[in-house]
Amino acid sequence: MNSKVTLSVFKADVGGLVGHGSVHPDMLKEAKKTLEEQKAGLLMDFFVTHVGDDINLVLTHQEGVDNEKIHKLAWDTFLKCTEVAKELKMYGAGQDLLTDAFSGNIKGMGPGMAEMEFDERVSEPVIIFMADKTEPGAWNLPLYKMFADPFNTIGLVIDPNMHDGFVFEILDLIEDKYINFSCPEEIYDLLVFLGASNRYVVKSIFRKSGDIAAVSSTQKMNLMAGRYIGKDDPVLIVRCQSGLPAVGEVLEPFANPHLVAGWMRGSHYGPILPVSQKEAVPTRFDGPPRVIAMGFQLANGMLVGPQDLFADVAFDRAREKALKIADYMRQMGPFEPHRLSLDEMEYTTMPLVMEKIKDRFE
Ligand code: F6R
Ligand code: MG
Ligand code: MG
């Protein structure tokens, strides 16, 4: 039998209460019930939560990544939740399930996912970040800080097990191509791409020995109605401690809220608000974008926890700062750079308006 553990996180928006703000407790109940019924012989453990209107399924098992049985279970679970959402007439019920039939792998079918397989260490602390009202590029800046910035992660300087640095695997969302950068040697090259977070995103991070350290739910953008859509409220798995960034080093980037794309109608920049799970219900201008951090210790595949890491009062000031930034940015209304540039917006009336007034241009 495979001695490795696989940690798989799946997320989908299959209906919101109210609007795009949250999910109904019955949907979460249904997810737990389905996973409990199907668990035997397949899962080691599972955990269900939500951030905003996205349901997150955290599964541990020994089937490896991209496993059909696991992906089908996640898909079926989201289908069950959709049935509940439809009964309750939740908003946008089933919106992230883009096809009718499961085709072997959940990739490209609507839901997001991040998976990693590893040998469980003597002690295995992991953090699962889950965000709503933003896109995968939201992880670029914090991941750079965690794994490449000594002003954030002192371990890079003073821990002999981290001093070699890490390898970043970057995905070009448009061309669907991958490239690795070795840090610290190549940080200037890396930053050329990481800084363009609407196109280049971190897929995974490895130790130089090859051990996996972090994986995001980043996927190639879907081309729909002639436009790329990629603002899939993202998840991120980070392993911590013993030669990897400490839990506090992994959380530290969120103490200073950075600007991310998303928010109202997926068409605005705003600060990312680190919140407890209870506060993961975006309402103001459908936001601001927010992130939760669930910490677990794995014990032979069991998810011991979670610890709701952003519930710490030490993040209160980050929240205050984010809210001040939100006030400031909202004053700009429909103007860039609060509003995204034309080619990045999820919604636009430009073709419509242009058609109407085209003869008036001289
Ligand atoms: C952003 C988001 C919401 C919706 C907005 C309009 O990711 O989910 O801000 O875009 O509430 O939603 P519709 O078009 O469904 O009325
Ligand atoms: Mg939604
Ligand atoms: Mg969402």
Q: CB 152: neighbour CB atoms within 10 A?
A: 20
**Does the CB atom of residue 338 touch ligand 1 within 6 A?**
no
pTM: 0.97
| Structure confidence at residue 222 as a pLDDT band (50, 70, 90) | low
Residue 158 inside a domain? The answer is no
pLDDT at residue number 231: 60
Contact 47, 10 (CB under 8 A): no
Residues belonging to the chain: 362
CA of 47 to the centre of ligand 2 (A): 21
How high is the mean pLDDT of the chain? 95
Alpha helices in the chain (DSSP H): 25-38, 68-87, 140-148, 155-158, 187-194, 247-251, 316-330, 350-357
Instruction: State yes or no: pLDDT of 51 exceeds 60.
Output: yes
**Does the CB atom of residue 21 touch ligand 1 within 6 A?**
no
Domain that holds residue 13: 1-116
Residue 19 inside a domain? The answer is yes
Nearest CA owner, ligand 1 atom 5: 265
Residue 84 inside a domain? The answer is yes
pLDDT at residue number 359: 95
**Does the CB atom of residue 290 touch ligand 1 within 6 A?**
no
Residue 331 inside a domain? The answer is no
CATH number of the domain encompassing residue 98: 3.30.70
Residue 80 inside a domain? The answer is yes
pLDDT in tens, 252-305: 999 999 999 999 999 999 999 999 999 999 999 999 999 999 999 999 999 999
Mean pLDDT (whole number) for 134-142: 96
d(CA 113, CA 107): 8
- The catalytic site residues sit at 13, 228, 231
pLDDT in tens, 174-197: 899 999 999 999 999 999 999 999
Tokens of 69: 């049985």
**Does the CB atom of residue 286 touch ligand 1 within 6 A?**
yes
Residue 157 inside a domain? The answer is no
Residue 224 inside a domain? The answer is no
Residue 361 inside a domain? The answer is no
Residues of the chain with pLDDT > 70: what percent?
97
pLDDT at residue number 61: 98
pLDDT in tens, 307-356: 999 999 999 999 999 999 999 999 999 999 999 999 888 888 989 999 99
pLDDT at residue number 214: 98
Tokens of 115: 């998976």
| Structure confidence at residue 102 as a pLDDT band (50, 70, 90) | confident
Nearest to 234 by CA among 205, 210, 198: 198
Nearest CA owner, ligand 1 atom 13: 265
Look-up of token digits 């990481």: 194
pLDDT at residue number 179: 98
Residues of the chain with pLDDT > 90: what percent?
87
Nearest CA owner, ligand 1 atom 12: 265
Neighbours of ion ligand 2 (CB under 5 A): 13, 20, 53
CA of 20 to the centre of ligand 1 (A): 6
Contact 353, 307 (CB under 8 A): no
How many domains, in total, are found in the chain?
A: 1
pLDDT at residue number 178: 97
Tokens of 285: 């201008």
